[in-house]
Structure 1
Amino acid sequence: MLAQKLKNAPHNAGIYQYFNAQGMLLYVGKAKSIKNRVKSYFRFSGELCAAPNLSPRIAKMISEVDNIEYIVVQSEHDALILENSLIKQLKPKYNILLRDDKTYPYIAINLSEPFPRFEITRKIVNDRHIKYFGPLSGSAKALLEALYLAFPLVQKRGCLKGKKACLFYQINRCLAPCEQKIDAETYGKIVHEALESLNDQKKLVNLLHVKMEEASMKLNFEEAAKLRDIINSIKDALHVTHVELSKLEDYDVFAIEIMEKTAVIMRLFIRGGKIVSTSHTLMHNAYGFEKEELYQRALFEFYNPMNQTFAKQILIAESFNEQNSISQFLTEKFGQKITISVPQRGEKLHLTSIAQENAKTILIQHSTKNNNSLSEQMQALFDFTSLPKRIEIFDNSHLGGKSPVGGMVVWDEGFDKSSYRRYELHHTDEYAQMREMLERRINDFSKESAPDLWVLDGGETILKLAKSLLSQKGVQVDLLAIAKEKRDAKANRSKGAAHDLLYNQNQAFELPPSDKRLQFIQRLRDEAHRFAITYHQKKKRGADMSLELLQIEGVGAATIKKLLLYFGTFEAIYAASQEELEVTVGKKLGVNLFQGLKK
């Protein structure tokens, strides 16, 4: 059957999918000619087997293949997009999955405003008055703080609305344009200096050093410590600072290094001939990596979001087969010529060499620190298909079925709070609530890739539910459930005697309380529980406050919505002054509201 399907493969561009005997998806690939590509994986002399030139990872995959399916598309570019979408949604066992499809932050300033401010943004708009600096990685927040500490800029977005000089003016952090104590032209010169310091971060660091020494001399050690931490954050974010090119050009530089089952993608962002930022992605895969596939996926994922700026010249440390195809795809997508090249000499070669050396350094540091890591121990014990690097943990919360909510927390070498998700649920029983939450997460796999592992607060019933939902969508995610030991059908919570049971898809595990793997899973479960409980309490408190507001004469649902849009939270509404309320909803209603809240 398999041999016949290979012989009948179409010559068109498209997608091929390999499945094992149990119907599990093993691999998704794209090809300009499906027939030529799939035949290259096999040797047809005698018994059908893996071709001899394959990597160990792909050869192992071919040994498991029992069935193959095809999807024909119009062009190679369509195949590239479809391949990426399917890999993100279905997470095949042998595909390399990257999660770099989120835009990097930038520092932006709108120079058309009379007194502009610097802000962090991930969205790029086509406006010639807005200047962007980046892309940045972990240094964005530190750089923004540094600007506002080093230069007397308008410190907060709402400052100019106040029309009155505030504390920032008194401590010499702002020159009070709200009271016309500085004109737009003079302020513009300060902005120009700040922009220059962004382009020359050594200058910015030197300014911060001076501020730090001044704070220390005045015995303001808290301020000095804050400045020290910001300086270190800026330095740490730039792995490389000693490069200045003779040509003031922009480049994005990529290098990849692999050590056994771990790989690093290193990126350098060159703007105006200087390195403005660096970033790297560290990955683990139980079946290893190939640089060809990694370069292709790294470039496609990084340039996939539309709302970002980028260099038109991409430098890579080594060539790969799909290089021209990716270059053509990006040129068509962004409507301008984008080149991908492997430098052979000069300054550009120096840049790719620096990226390679940094990637090697990160790999060595990681291998030294993580020998026989907890992730590897968990993979061995629970028989996971891949190292549990990115983990999503779910819990739900309600009070007698009222105000039901769900929470998802994410672990990725630490709790990744930017990826946490809240779910407002609609069912009264916990099983249906968990089902609703998991279904909604599965539907989002096309936007946010599936993780390596799900940890569920519950026993075998919840685990079977998750397995069924994933199976219906054809998605592979490892599962682990954690539940309290039960006695007489009730969870045993006796202090010092309670035992958590762990379940994978095949068996139950009762580990001693001292086991590091159990303690890690408990830590994940407790964070999910805290997150869900906090959201439930906030939602219930908001509902209670909303009911209180509705009791005040003249206040309706539209008024509450208007107040929330302005103040952000119910707590801020309750803490607002009468003047602020009058500005928001009018004088008469503002007076009623203020008096009603103070009763």
Structure 2
Amino acid sequence: MNLEEKLKQLPSDAGVYQYFDEAGHLLYVGKAKVLKNRVKSYFKFTPQLRPSEKLGPRIFKMISEVKSCEWIVVPNEHDALILENSLIKQLKPKYNILLRDDKTYPYIYVDLNEDFPRLEITRKVLKGANIKYFGPYSSGARDILDSIYETFPLVQKKACIKGKEACLFFQIKKCLAPCENRITKEEYAKILNNSMEYIYNKSKLLTKLKLKMQEYSNDFRFEEAMKIRDRIKTIEKSEIKTGMDLATNENLDIFAIKNSKTKAVIVRMFIRDGKLASSSHDFLKVTLEDNEDFDFNEAYKRTLINYYSNEMPIIPKEILLANEIDEVEDMEEFLKTKFSKKINIINPKVGKKKDLMQIALNNCDELLRIDSAKSSNTLYEEIQKLFNLSQTPLRVESFDNSHMMGQATVGAMVVWDNDKFIKSDFRHYNLESHDEYSQMREMLIRRVESFDKNPAPDLWIIDGGSTLLKLAYDIVQSVGVNLDIIAIAKEKIDFKAHRAKGAAKDIVHFKKEGEFTSIKLLTSDKRLHFVQRQRDEAHRFVINYHKKQKRAEDKQISLLNIKGIGEAKVKKLLLYFGTFENIKSATIENLKEVLNEKDSILISNHFNQN
């Protein structure tokens, strides 16, 4: 069935549609209130099927590549919006803008139901009618909280209030000992209210900290002064200066997006009680042709869905956007369904809200300027060209696995983004498979299954040869993900990996024009150095975890040795059962598949007795 015949079968239901090119690669995922109307609007049907003349350059180019279309019908438009976002994250279509999930931001909170409340940090919406939140904070929440406790004599630890006598904090004048009734609830409340004023008014807090730093320095307490200095830097770095006060108690969320030819930046600002609480930003990769415009509509839609898919302790009155977008009503309906509250999305044209938006846009310009000055994509572009990659590999995930005769079988993934390793995104995998091929397969499948929560990167680097490269491609192609993959393996001499003195002779395997090939680069090549650096970090990370797991398992082995079961028998058991947990739960009959009846009874009795 050709594309025109397929389009005639489109239903009048809400749903998600997918466009594919001639090779079956996914080009675009979109949602529609009425599939038939939305999808047909992209095309002109007479005198022959072709892209509509009303389309912008980018979408016109996409529709020119479309050779087939599929769709999924859902009950309503809200479900379509959620499914669309999930599919984009999982499948990484060529023409959709992909944003990584917004993390859950921390909040500072205080439970005013308590007699002597403490300020604490949470990432969850807590139960309770009289809880006050401050935030969200992209960074600096812990530094702000530590600074408050440094400055005000509040209850320093949860356990303090339960004690019946004053502790060290009272002696060093950091607490007024409510545990001994040395301060009334009313007096404590005044100190608490004063401390809370400093959370939003960071300039007052920073002034206090600078005085404290000077005090420590004058007393030759230089280590403590340095801690305060570092805390000041973190708090200052997390803040955009606005110099504005709305003179209202409004809660507003502000989003501004600007782009260059190669990158776009999203700036978020959070106004709480009329004052700037915090701000954050993220970059996303952009590739624009000379005649293409950046799709702000798509970018804002992805930004809002990703951010507001999380639970929110503080719901804004309004959301301010730096650009007007289509389908505002759809996004407002999404928010109303999520939070059971009407939240207006506006593009302010006048007044203080317009001035706030301009501050956000100015920060976008500055972030793009700094990023352009400090980084060059030349190396990434050379890697893209050399290995025939479909996109510039700015975000890279690298994989390695480790085991010793089936013991402590583990895998690891390390992540490179924005010119550095993102250690918070590193992952360990405890694996059950017994050979390296199956271990890599198990690890990559588990990673693919998590694409809906953590979208695919630009490039995978596999520690291994052509066999593992083909395996990785089979896995990603089975789920239709657009993802480049290369593999790096040491040169082998007499079937053994060879490392020359001072330089590793590695071979990089990749796919070019549908065929698997390989290249051996000079040991001085910077492109090889980049790939080796990723591989080596994955190897370091997995080996450290392997050692940790093996130490834990060695303890269990030593316990078995006491009972008369030697290490050789333990290794046999591990090769057969895979894990200690499986050995523990095995019956005598199962154990007899590996060992004699006497040993099997001994092991079974040992675990049952313990």
State the TM bucket, normalised to the shorter chain.
0.7 to 0.9
Preserved contact between residue 110 and residue 131 of structure 1 (Cα < 8 Å): yes
1:534 is the counterpart of 2:535: no
Per the alignment, residue 356 of structure 2 pairs with: 351
Deviations along 1:35-56, whole A, 9 cap, x unmatched? 2222232333444333334333
CA distance in 1, matches of 2:276, 2:48: 54
Change (3 A) 1:154 1:514: farther
Per the alignment, residue 425 of structure 1 pairs with: 431
Preserved contact between residue 251 and residue 316 of structure 2 (Cα < 8 Å): yes
Letter in 2 for 1:468: D
1:512 to 497, 519, 522: 522
Counterparts of 1:491-502 in structure 2, within 5 Å, are 491-502=497-508
Counterparts of 1:471-490 in structure 2, within 5 Å, are 471-490=477-496
Per the alignment, residue 400 of structure 1 pairs with: 405
CA distance in 1, matches of 2:507, 2:114: 60
CA distance in 1, matches of 2:159, 2:435: 44
Per the alignment, residue 584 of structure 1 pairs with: none
Change (3 A) 1:480 1:144: farther
Change (3 A) 1:187 1:363: same
Return the offset for 1:399.
2.0
Preserved contact between residue 296 and residue 322 of structure 1 (Cα < 8 Å): no
Change (3 A) 1:420 1:154: farther
Per the alignment, residue 341 of structure 1 pairs with: 346
CA distance in 2, matches of 1:116, 1:438: 47
Change (3 A) 1:228 1:38: same
Preserved contact between residue 403 and residue 540 of structure 1 (Cα < 8 Å): yes
1:96 is the counterpart of 2:97: yes
Per the alignment, residue 264 of structure 2 pairs with: 263
Change (3 A) 1:496 1:50: same
Structure 1 gaps of 5+ residues are 553-599
Per the alignment, residue 280 of structure 2 pairs with: 279
Per the alignment, residue 9 of structure 2 pairs with: 8
- Residue 126 of structure 2 aligns to a residue whose secondary structure is coil
Return the offset for 1:136.
0.9
1:464 is the counterpart of 2:470: yes
CA distance in 2, matches of 1:250, 1:218: 43
Change (3 A) 1:68 1:151: same
Per the alignment, residue 443 of structure 2 pairs with: 437
- Residue 89 of structure 1 aligns to a residue whose secondary structure is helix
Per the alignment, residue 296 of structure 1 pairs with: 301
Counterparts of 1:157-168 in structure 2, within 5 Å, are 157=158, 168=169
- Residue 301 of structure 1 aligns to a residue whose secondary structure is helix
Return the offset for 1:294.
0.8
Return the offset for 1:355.
1.2
Deviations along 1:183-209, whole A, 9 cap, x unmatched? 655444433222111021111111101
Per the alignment, residue 139 of structure 2 pairs with: 138
Letter in 1 for 2:59: I
Per the alignment, residue 586 of structure 1 pairs with: none
- Residue 413 of structure 2 aligns to a residue whose secondary structure is strand
Preserved contact between residue 410 and residue 419 of structure 1 (Cα < 8 Å): yes
Return the offset for 1:236.
1.2
Per the alignment, residue 23 of structure 1 pairs with: 24
More displaced stretch, 166-175 vs 462-471: 166-175
Change (3 A) 1:291 1:459: same
More displaced stretch, 112-121 vs 9-18: 112-121
CA distance in 1, matches of 2:403, 2:190: 55
Higher Rg of the two aligned structures: 2
Per the alignment, residue 52 of structure 1 pairs with: 53
Return the offset for 1:16.
1.0
Change (3 A) 1:386 1:185: farther
CA distance in 2, matches of 1:472, 1:207: 59
Return the offset for 1:391.
1.9
Letter in 2 for 1:541: R
More displaced stretch, 523-532 vs 537-546: 537-546
Change (3 A) 1:486 1:548: closer
Return the offset for 1:5.
1.5
CA distance in 1, matches of 2:503, 2:241: 53
Per the alignment, residue 85 of structure 1 pairs with: 86
Letter in 2 for 1:44: F
- Residue 511 of structure 2 aligns to a residue whose secondary structure is coil
Return the offset for 1:285.
2.6
CA distance in 2, matches of 1:382, 1:56: 29
Change (3 A) 1:53 1:330: same
CA distance in 2, matches of 1:6, 1:485: 52
Deviations along 1:144-186, whole A, 9 cap, x unmatched? 2322332334445555677776665555444555676656554
CA distance in 1, matches of 2:295, 2:422: 28
Structure 2 gaps of 5+ residues are 563-610
Counterparts of 1:346-425 in structure 2, within 5 Å, are 346-413=351-418, 414-425=420-431
Preserved contact between residue 209 and residue 228 of structure 2 (Cα < 8 Å): yes
Change (3 A) 1:221 1:53: farther
CA distance in 2, matches of 1:417, 1:184: 44
More displaced stretch, 518-527 vs 203-212: 518-527
Change (3 A) 1:417 1:114: farther
Change (3 A) 1:516 1:242: farther
Return the offset for 1:98.
0.8
TM-score, length of structure 1 as denominator length = 0.86
Per the alignment, residue 238 of structure 1 pairs with: 239
Preserved contact between residue 142 and residue 234 of structure 1 (Cα < 8 Å): yes
CA RMSD in angstroms comes to 2.5
Deviations along 1:491-541, whole A, 9 cap, x unmatched? 112322421222222332323333333222222222222221222222222
CA distance in 2, matches of 1:327, 1:480: 42
Per the alignment, residue 521 of structure 1 pairs with: 531
CA distance in 2, matches of 1:542, 1:110: 41
Preserved contact between residue 503 and residue 523 of structure 2 (Cα < 8 Å): no
Return the offset for 1:131.
2.2
CA distance in 2, matches of 1:389, 1:161: 51
Return the offset for 1:252.
0.4
Change (3 A) 1:502 1:551: closer
CA distance in 2, matches of 1:434, 1:402: 16
More displaced stretch, 6-15 vs 485-494: 6-15
Deviations along 1:373-417, whole A, 9 cap, x unmatched? 433332233232223232222121222210111112222222222
Letter in 2 for 1:323: V
Deviations along 1:193-243, whole A, 9 cap, x unmatched? 221110211111111011111011112222222212211211111122412
Letter in 2 for 1:400: M
Preserved contact between residue 426 and residue 433 of structure 1 (Cα < 8 Å): yes
Counterparts of 1:319-330 in structure 2, within 5 Å, are 319-330=324-335
Preserved contact between residue 388 and residue 511 of structure 2 (Cα < 8 Å): no
Per the alignment, residue 457 of structure 2 pairs with: 451
CA distance in 1, matches of 2:558, 2:468: 38
Return the offset for 1:328.
1.5
CA distance in 1, matches of 2:121, 2:535: 32
Return the offset for 1:467.
0.7
Per the alignment, residue 563 of structure 1 pairs with: none
Deviations along 1:13-44, whole A, 9 cap, x unmatched? 21110111221111111112222222232333
Change (3 A) 1:43 1:141: same
1:128 is the counterpart of 2:134: no
TM-score, length of structure 2 as denominator length = 0.85
CA distance in 1, matches of 2:503, 2:214: 55
